Amino acid sequence: DTKFEFGFIDGELALIDEVGTPDSSRFWPADVYEPGRAQPSFDKQFVRDWLDASGWDHEPPPPGLPADVVARTAATYVEAYERLTEEPFADYLRRAGVGTA
């Protein structure tokens, strides 16, 4: 399940948002998929659920996220990356020069 957002730039139709990320798509692990049941997912739904449970009225600004929600979300996104690319996220960070002196 995914979405694409389009807009016009100088009168030309253009893709204007990220594509194929956990922010715009819902990914389910095929190895544990069970029809008719709620599926574990790799997306931002965990953050949405936390915000709804927090009592936030959906008016800006949203409440800050606790460290455990941020950590769980980051871990979910890393796992999605690793499943989709079949590559350790640490290898990507190394190639990108992130976290190195």
In a domain, 47, yes or no: yes
What domain range is 79 assigned to? 27-96
In a domain, 64, yes or no: yes
In a domain, 39, yes or no: yes
The CA distance from 70 to 13, in Å, is 35
Query: What pTM value is reported for the model?
Result: 0.77
Judged against a pLDDT cut of 90, whether residue 22 lies above it is answered with no
- Average pLDDT rounded to a whole number, residues 53-57: 96
In a domain, 35, yes or no: yes
In a domain, 32, yes or no: yes
Judged against a pLDDT cut of 60, whether residue 37 lies above it is answered with yes
In a domain, 5, yes or no: no
List for the chain the helix, strand, coil content (%; round to 5).
Answer: 40, 10, 50
- Counted domains in the chain: 1
- Of all residues in the chain, what percent carry a pLDDT higher than 90? 67
Look up residue 42 and give its DSSP letter.
B
